[in-house]
Amino acid sequence: MTGITRRRLLASSALAAFFGGVRPVLAESGGSLPWRNWSGGLVAHPRGRFAPATELELADFLATTTGSIRPVGSGHSFTPLVPTDGHLVVIDRLAGLIEHDAGALQATFGAGTRLGDMGAPLEAIGQAMFNLPDIDRQTLAGATATATHGTGIEFGCLSDYVTNLRLIAPNGESFDVSREATPELFDAARVSVGALGVVTRMTLQNRGSYRLIQKTWTQKTEEVLESFDESAAQHRHFEMFPYTHSDYAGVLATDESDAPTNNPPPSPEADAAFAQIIKDLSQVPPRERLPIVNSIMGQSEPSERVDDSYKILTNVRNTRFNEMEYSVPIDAGAPCLREILKTIIDKEVDVIFPLEYRYVRRDDTWLSMSTGDEDHAAISIHRTAGEDYRPYFDLIEPIFWKYGGRPHWGKVHSLGAAELTKLYPRFRDFQEIRQSLDPQGRMLNDHLKKLFGVTA
């Protein structure tokens, strides 16, 4: 089925090839053009799009109009947080570095800035973000609104690094929000799912620029899991992508380094070879895949790359997919992952896409998946876009519940207000702030009504 050359290619670029690199579908501007999210699974027909050039324009729009509003980032959420038949508010024009504090290593950006457009200007002022998620196409406001995170036991989600933000409430009133000036609103607005108003600028706590070396290899999942805590403590970032119907996982360990740059772009040849392997594997019944996948993974070769931190921490994802991710308390991570992998084998789930397993540090925002006293393990499952993800995700979701999981706000889940109130100690406090800022429910679409238990 697969030649050794192809397997070697796979070895050097397995993960990159799986997720690969194309530009995301962005919300089109103007009129009644349909809006689609990145995976293509969500479509909306907004009445209009409003793309303010200034915060004043936005405040005026909110103060002088009525009807539903949904702020949109770059549409990378898998959950219907954005769809509305009212107005989309697009803050693409409120983007770029606004000001910075060289002493405190803080920088203020327009909240519509893509994460991928922040690394270079930060580097120019000697700063860098502490951590980044898998990709960098999200906007700063969109990413923080759902508590987007990377991996690393020492690092909280992106919202944990926000020191100040500006929020324009649904009535047009502007709030400068910080821990010191408005502590409750600060803890609510750093992860808001766009329910409190429109965030226009954010200040981040950064650090001095740094470089990273990332080592990638394949190893038996169980071996990695048994020493995951030690590995997570030893490396700045550590994560794995367990392969389905296999005993193996792709493993990534990332540390600071002064080594010279060595970061070749993913090879198109490797991408094509890997796509062929996936195609071939999909012809094999799930129950017969384990020895084949094990044989391919067992022969793969390690690789490493070195570059500026922001060029190593994020990747390009070529293959569009839908995703479910839950964060479970860290001690529940390993048993939860084991049960999911076993269920995929036992139920012969026809899925090739790997899972993702990573640690996130606890924080004190009210709605982050890692809020509270415990660090969390974030576990993701994926299904290629175009395939029906429901049967697979419906099978696995109760396992996450069993281990006390909290769903990622931007990734597929089926929970509503009753369950979320139990999972988040400050959920009711968030609700109070939401109701006081948005008494008319302008910011609510059907999905948010379900999240917040609003029936009217």
Ligand X SMILES: Cc1cc2nc3c(=O)[nH]c(=O)nc-3n(C[C@H](O)[C@H](O)[C@H](O)COP(=O)(O)OP(=O)(O)OC[C@H]3O[C@@H](n4cnc5c(N)ncnc54)[C@H](O)[C@@H]3O)c2cc1C
Catalog residues that contact ligand X under the rule CB under 6 A: 38, 70-77, 81-82, 91, 111, 133-135, 138-139, 141-143, 145-146, 148-149, 193-194, 198-199, 317, 408, 410
The nearer residue to ligand X, 286 or 315, going by C-beta atoms, is 315
Neighbouring CB atoms inside 10 A of 53's CB total 9
- What gap in Å lies between CA 128 and CA 296, rounded to an integer? 38
CA–CA dist 148, 158 (Å, integer):
6
> Which CA distances in Å does 278 have to 67, 83, 284, 398?
47, 33, 10, 28
Least distance between ligand X and beta carbon 374 (Å): 17
CA–CA gap between residue 389 and residue 110 (Å, rounded): 35
- Tokens at residue 377, please? 């393990």
Tokens of 20: 């690969």
d(CA 450, CA 420): 10
Q: How far is the CB of 418 from ligand X (least distance, A)?
A: 20
Give the nearer residue to ligand X in terms of CB position, either 38 or 427: 38
CB-based contacts of 400: which residues, under 8 Å, 6+ apart?
324, 326, 328, 336, 379, 407
Q: How far is the CB of 76 from ligand X (least distance, A)?
A: 3
Residue nearer to ligand X on the CB measure, 76 or 434: 76
The distance from CA 280 to its chain's CA centroid, rounded to whole angstroms, is: 30
Q: How far is the CB of 347 from ligand X (least distance, A)?
A: 26
Q: Toward ligand X, which CB reaches closer, 72 or 349?
A: 72
Closer to ligand X at the Cβ: 250 or 410? 410
Percentages helix, strand, coil for the chain (3-state, rounded to 5) are 35, 25, 40
Least gap, CB of 336 to ligand X (angstroms): 17
Q: Which is nearer to ligand X, 37 or 219 (CB)?
A: 37
Looking at the Cβ atoms of 159 and 247, the one nearer to ligand X is: 159
What radius of gyration, in Å, describes the C-alpha atoms of the chain? 22
Tell me how far, at minimum, the Cβ of 137 lies from ligand X, in Å: 7
Q: Are the CB atoms for 358 and 239 separated by under 8 Å?
A: yes
Closest distance to ligand X from the beta carbon of 139 (Å)? 4
CB of 335 to ligand X, least distance (A): 22
DSSP assignment of 260-302, as one string? Answer: PPB-PPPPHHHHHHHHHHHHHHHTS-GGGHHHHHHHHHHT---
Q: Alpha carbon of 272 to those of 199, 269, 326, 361, 421: distances in Å?
A: 41, 5, 31, 37, 46
For ligand X, the closer CB: 289 or 409: 409
Q: Which is nearer to ligand X, 289 or 442 (CB)?
A: 442
Which contacts (CB < 8 Å, 24+ apart) does range 338-343 have? 338/225, 339/399, 339/402, 340/379, 340/381, 340/396, 340/399, 341/221, 341/242, 341/244, 343/395, 343/396, 343/399
**Least distance to ligand X from the beta carbon of 287, Å?**
30
Nearer to ligand X, 145 or 336 (CB): 145
Closest distance between ligand X and the C-beta of residue 387, in Å? 16
Say how far apart CA 202 and CA 205 lie, in whole Å: 10
- Give the Å distances, CA to CA, from 128 to 116, 146, 311: 12, 21, 11
Smallest gap from Cβ 166 to ligand X, in A, equals 10
Residue closer to ligand X (CB basis): 194 or 329:
194
């012969």: which residue's tokens?
Answer: 348
